[in-house]
Amino acid sequence: MHQPQQQVPAKSLPRRLARPDLRQPNQKIIASVNPELASVPIEYIRRGLADMGADLCHAINRVAPMLPSQSPANNLVNLNLPPSSNSNRLPTHILALQSTRSDQRFLYPTHALLLAAHCTGVPPVPVLPAGSTSLPVVQLKVTSPNLFPVLQTFLLTKSYEALISGILPVSASSLGSFASLPPPQRTAKLGHMLYEKSRGSMQQLMAYSDQISAFWRLICALGVFDNDTWEVVDLTWDAVLGAMNLVIQNEDAGRGRRM
Residue 233 belongs to some domain of the structure: yes
CB 134 within 8 A of CB 76: yes
Q: What percent of the chain has pLDDT over 90?
A: 69
CA 84 to chain centre: 31
pLDDT-derived band at 3, boundaries 50, 70, 90: very low
Q: Would you say residue 15 lies in a domain?
A: no
Domain assignment present for residue 83? The answer is yes
Give the ranges where 119-200 is alpha helix by DSSP (H).
148-157, 160-167, 172-175, 183-198
User: Among 4-18, 84-98, 126-140, 159-173, whose mean pLDDT is lowest?
Assistant: 4-18
- Residue 16's pLDDT band (cuts 50, 70, 90): very high
- Asked if the model's pLDDT at residue 2 lies above 50, the reply is no
Assess whether pLDDT exceeds 60 at residue 5: no
pLDDT at 202: 95
The pLDDT of residue 10 is 46
Q: Given this model, what pLDDT does residue 1 score?
A: 44
Model-level pTM? 0.89
Q: How many helices (H) and strands (E) does the chain have?
A: 10, 4
Of residues 204 and 6, the one with the higher pLDDT is 204
Query: Is residue 220 domain-resident?
Result: yes
Residue in 116, 117, 219 with CA at minimum distance from that of residue 166:
219
Query: How many domains are there within the chain?
Result: 1
72 in a domain, yes or no?
yes
pLDDT score, position 100: 87
Would you say residue 127 lies in a domain? Answer: yes
Q: Is residue 117 part of a domain?
A: yes
- 4: confidence class by pLDDT, cuts 50, 70, 90: very low
Q: Give the three-class secondary structure for 6.
A: coil
pLDDT digits (tens, 9 = 90+) for 73-129: 889 898 877 655 566 788 999 999 999 888 888 999 999 999 999 999 999 999 887
Is 106 among the domain residues? yes
Residue-range definition of the domain harbouring residue 104: 27-258
- Interval 40-66 mean pLDDT: 95
Least confident of 3-17, 24-38, 84-98, 155-169: 3-17
What pLDDT digit, counting tens, does each position of 171-224 carry?
988 888 777 888 889 999 999 999 999 999 999 999 999 999 999 999 999 999
Half-sphere exposure of 62 (CA within 13 A, CB side): 16
Low-confidence winner among 107-121, 135-149, 245-259 (lowest mean pLDDT): 245-259
Question: Please, are residues 93 and 137 in contact by the beta-carbon 8 Å criterion?
Answer: yes
